[in-house]
Structures are given as C-alpha cells and as structure tokens.
Amino acid sequence: MAKARKGAGRSTAAAVRRRPRRGEPCPPARLWAPWRMEFVLAPKPPGCIFCRFPAEEGEENDRRNLVVHRSARSFTVLNRYPYSSGHVMVIPRRHTGLLEELGVEEFCDLHEELRLAARVLRGLYRPDGMNLGMNLGRIAGAGIADHLHYHVVPRWAGDTNFMPVLAETRVLVEHLDAAWVKIRQAFGEQRAT
C-alpha cells in the first residue's frame, strides 16, 4: 500500500504554505487587486490630497476622488483601501493635523458631517456597530498625518472572520464605485429630510 504524501487531500496552496513556527514572521498573503496598480503607477501630485479633493469640484471629480458629500467646512470620502464595505473618512477642509487648531465653526461642521455620515451608513448598511476615530500624528498611525480625518467603519458580528487571521486578507463584498453611488445618493436624501 502506498504511503500517503504529506499535504495530500489539501489544496495546492495549503500543501505548499506551511504554518510558521512560533517567533517566525508570517509571509504576506497575496490578493489580486488591479485597481491598486493604477494608484501605484500614477504620478503623485504635489501637496495634500485632502486639500485637493474638495478643490476639484463636479461630479466627475467627486467620483474619481470618491467624495460622497460636502458641507461648508468638511467633506466625506470613501476610503480607497477600506477595512470594510462603506468605510468612509470625514475630513475638515482646513489643512491641519491638530484638532485643537480648528475654529469653533469648523469643529462643529466636522462633527455634524461625522454624525450625518454615521446616520447614512447605518441606514444603508445596517451594521451591528461602528468604529469612529482618528489617528493624530504619524506615530499614532495616521497615514496622512498633516491633515486630520475621522474614519467611520461599519462593523458586523463575525466580520473578523478567518481570512485576516489565516490569510492576512480582507474580503470586501462591494465595489468602490457601487458604494460611491449608493452613499452619495443617501447623503442627498438625508439632507433633503
């Protein structure tokens, strides 16, 4: 009788990839995401994207920049690399990395936009909860440290499934363009009521 090969009965990827031993680094998983290549290869414009986005007006620019709503002193954009479907950022128009530098009107407008974003996402996605927060400064985790911004991340029971744990991969069920259309429309409906 032939001896069973180690890894027999498992997928090729599972047979080839062994689990790291304690203390060994985990190799990064690969996820095909062709839309990222456009970002990687595109020339990086000078300046701050969070200052550029609201300055580029019109629906075509909003779609390209993923801007779903604008208020007098703030705006909301979809995160191009979301943690979950519906992940948006709420951003003051003023370029500052310090919350305490916002004037009273800017602060109030930012938080009204944050409240509206939470209401819109609750109505559209029906999450079980949400993470709301900002990272102030690069050491705190801010990717764009010089222009503060809130993250609003819808969460569902069980959304931390095996994929991030075993494969270091997130599964997103909605394309960004579809999310942009849906969220932008819902902001308009919320403002009309």
Residues serving a catalytic function are 149
Sheet holding 129-133, edge to edge: 67-70, 74-78, 88-92, 150-155, 129-133
CA–CA separation, 8 and 22 (whole Å):
24
Instruction: Return the number of other C-beta atoms located less than 10 Å from residue 104's C-beta.
Output: 7
- Going along the chain, which residue ranges are E strands? 67-70, 74-78, 88-92, 129-133, 150-155
CA distance linking residue 26 with residue 52, whole number of Å: 37
**C-alpha–C-alpha distance, residues 53 and 91, integer Å:** 10
DSSP β-bridge partners for residue 129: 155
Q: 25, 123 in Cβ contact below 8 A?
A: no
Find how far residue 163's CA is from the centre of its chain.
Answer: 17
